[in-house]
Amino acid sequence: MHASESLQKAEMVRILLETEGRVMLCLDATVRGVEVPRRFGKDNGLRLILNRNMPQPIEIGVTAIESELRFGGIPHYCVIPYEALWGVFNPDTRHGMFWGDSMPEEIRARHSVEESTLRLPEAFVQSAEPAPVVPVPAPAPAPAKVALRVIDGGDGGNVPTESSKRSRPNLRVVS
C-alpha cells in the first residue's frame, strides 16, 4: 500500500468523525498488526463503529487507528493498521469510501464488487441506494511546530474541577 493511500484513509476517517460524528470501519482482521478481540481475529469483513462522543480518545495516527473499544461491554484496546482498512462510511448518511484494492478477495467475490467500483457493497450499507462517494481533499501540509511559553498571571495555579473540564471527548490526529 502506498503512503498516499494511508493518508487518504486517515483523512477520510477524520473527516467523517468531525463532520458527521460517526464512522463505520470495514476491515480485514486477518491482516498482520490488527489488534481486536481474539474471537474476531479471523473475520475479513469486520465492521467497527467509532463515534466522536466516545469517552476514550481515538488516535488517528500515521500507520493505524487506535482506541479502546467495547465488545459486549468489555473494553479492548484496538489497533487498526490502514493496510487492513478497506472501507469507511457513515451508516446513517451513507457518505464514505472503500478501496477495492484493499478489500479481501472473498468479500469482493461474495458481493460481486469490481475493483473500480466506488461505492460500498449493499450488504454493508443495509440499504438499497448506492452510497455516494465523498471526495477526499489532498492532505494538508504538516503544521509548523508551535513554541510554548509560560505566561505569568494565569489562573493562580488553580486545578480545574471536574465540572470545569471539557465534556467533549478527545479526537487526536497523531503525526
Task: Provide the residue-wise pLDDT of the chain in tens; the chain has 175 residues.
Answer: 677 888 899 999 999 999 999 999 999 999 999 999 999 999 999 999 999 999 999 999 999 999 999 999 999 999 999 999 999 999 888 899 988 888 898 888 776 655 443 444 343 344 333 344 444 444 455 555 545 555 555 555 555 555 555 455 556 666 5
In order, the DSSP letters of 2-57 are -HHHHHHHHHHHHHHHHHHSEEEEEE-TTSTT-B--GGGTT-TTEEEEEETT-SS-
**How many structural domains is the chain composed of?**
1
Residues of the domain holding 41: 3-125
In this structure, the number of other CB atoms found within 10 A of the CB of residue 162 comes to 5
44 within a domain of the structure (yes/no): yes
Domain-embedded: residue 149: no
Residue 14 is assigned to a structural domain of this protein: yes
Asked if residue 104 is part of any domain, the answer here is yes
Residue-level pLDDT at 101: 84
Asked whether residue 175 is domain-assigned, the answer is no
Look at residue 78 in the predicted model and tell me its pLDDT.
96
Determine if the pTM surpasses 0.75.
Answer: no
CATH code of the domain containing 31: 2.30.30.220
Residue 41 in domain: yes
Q: Answer whether residue 42 is part of any domain.
A: yes
Please check whether residue 137 lies inside any domain of the structure.
no
